[in-house]
Amino acid sequence: MSCSASKVTSRREGARALRLGGVLLAAAVPVTGSVGGLPTATGSLAVVAAVLSVTSAARAQESAEVEAILRRGIQLRRDGQDEAALAVFQEAEAQAPNSVRVLLHVATAAQAASKWLLADEYLRRADLHKNDPYYVKYQGEIEEVKNITAQRVGHFRAVGEPSGAEVILNGQVVGTLPMENPKTLESGTYVLEVNKPGFFRLRRPISVPGGVLTRETVELNERGPNDPPGTDGPGTPAEPQSFWASSGMTWTLAGIAAAAGITSGVSFYLRERAADHWNDDGRCLSTVPNEQNTSREDLCGNVRNDVDTAEQVGIVSGVVGIAFAGAALTHWIATSNGSEPGVDSSARREHKSTGSVQCSPGLMNVVCAGTF
């Protein structure tokens, strides 16, 4: 999705909460009627404020200076400058930190700017004033904004051992094991790392969906005295194998061997056909009395060349097929003993400690070394 499409989507979601703005400029949107005492309006989704009356209690909390700041922010939102409007509304918050109207202005501007964590924070702050007349009056619209924001905000908590291990998401520390309080995050995919000195580091991808608590249970394995520092433990995705050490190489060698074998077989078949032609007296010896002294090579010399060529091709391709078949078998044995998919580094270390053989394949040979 393009950036412009993303902004349109954010404004569409923000438009559902436009009536939360409080007293806005009457010229912003032409009034076409009212529903339940609230004015309705027509206009494009880019219009981010609607005209509403507020209670005198809400007005009493806001000075003329705050009102001027709000009008400036409303104009910026009407012009599609959501991030600039957000900064202006935060200026108003500094003047009136307990105004529900100001808090909701900040929340809806943050939502329109796709700053979902900030929107969630200010909605929670507004929830502390649920008995405020302004909150009560627009509670339905507020709940709708909260539901939209909740779809983009998730919660994450990691539990497990060892206690005190750092929990890191996308390179930022978010807590230590076990996390007592969940971390609020934008929904999406993260790289989870858990690390503590003396233990193998864990690293794996996780997904944090919106609106729910994602709970990850982890357990780090303690390092042994002979384990080198800086290595990863179980649960860490293994680095991808190179092509030379993968099963693809085995199949490539086997394919070449099969192709060479087929070529050898076809060559010997053609040789036999050419040899039958060469040995056929009816075709390679003349029965005409004047040509009885004509030799077989005079009449079928090209057939003899075909016999020789087919024989050479058959022998060479046969040798190549055998060589590559041996290389494929050697590679399969070597890679099976060396590293198995899905076996983590600690398992390989355990295997080595009880004895292991590792082989390096070549075209016609294999070199193996073992520890016992």
pLDDT surpassing 60 at residue 357: no
Q: What is the mean pLDDT of residues 126-150?
A: 92
With cut-offs at 50, 70 and 90, classify the pLDDT of residue 336: low
CB-based contact 284:300 (threshold 8 Å): yes
Percentage of residues in the chain having pLDDT higher than 90: 48
Residue 243 has what pLDDT? 61
Q: Which residues of 51-85 are buried (b: 16+ CB within 10 A; e: fewer)?
A: bbebeeebbeebeeebbebbbebbbbbbeebbebb
pLDDT bucket at 109, cuts 50 / 70 / 90: very high
Report for 5-14, 88-97, 293-302: range of highest mean pLDDT: 88-97
Which run of H or E residues covers position 252? helix 247-279
| pLDDT of 102 | 94
User: Residue 208 and residue 212: Cα distance in Å, rounded?
Assistant: 8
* pTM, full prediction: 0.49
Please give the mean pLDDT across all residues of the chain.
Answer: 75
* Extents of the domains making up the chain: 3-149, 153-219, 243-371
pLDDT at 62: 62
Which segment of 21-35, 64-78, 80-94, 265-279 scores lowest on mean pLDDT? Answer: 21-35
Q: Tell me: the pLDDT tens digits for 154-203?
A: 999 999 999 999 999 999 999 999 999 999 999 999 999 999 999 999 99
153-219: CATH homologous superfamily? Carboxypeptidase-like, regulatory domain (2.60.40.1120)
Other C-beta atoms lying within 10 Å of the C-beta of residue 252: 16
Fold of 3-149: 1.25.40
pLDDT value of position 108: 94
Tens-place pLDDT, residues 42-68? 333 233 334 333 444 445 446 899 999
Backbone torsion region of residue 198, taken as left when φ is above 0, otherwise alpha when ψ lies between -120 and 50, otherwise beta = left
> How far is Cα 21 from Cα 109, in angstroms, rounded to an integer?
10
pLDDT for res 174: 94
Mean pLDDT within 116-128: 94
CA–CA separation, 176 and 154 (whole Å): 19
Query: Would you say residue 362 has pLDDT above 60?
Result: no
pLDDT value, residue 368: 52
Task: Give 63-124 as a DSSP string.
Answer: -HHHHHHHHHHHHHHHTT-HHHHHHHHHHHHHH-TT-HHHHHHHHHHHHHTT-HHHHHHHHH
Q: How many residues does the structure list for the chain?
A: 372
As a dihedral over the C-alpha atoms of residue 83, residue 89, residue 94, residue 97, rounded to 10 degrees, the angle is -120
**pLDDT tens-digit readout, 237-256:** 444 555 666 778 888 888 99
Nearest alpha carbon to residue 218 among 290, 274, 268, 169: 169
Pair of tokens at residue 348 = 């390989």
* Tens-digit pLDDT profile for residues 81-106: 999 999 999 999 999 999 999 999 99
What pLDDT score was predicted for residue 51?
Answer: 33
Q: How far apart are alpha carbons 313 and 321 in whole angstroms?
A: 12
> In this model, does residue 143 exceed pLDDT 90?
yes
Q: Which of these, 218, 217, 214, lies nearest to 233 by C-alpha position?
A: 218
Q: Which residues contact 53 (CB under 8 A, 6 or more apart)?
A: 23
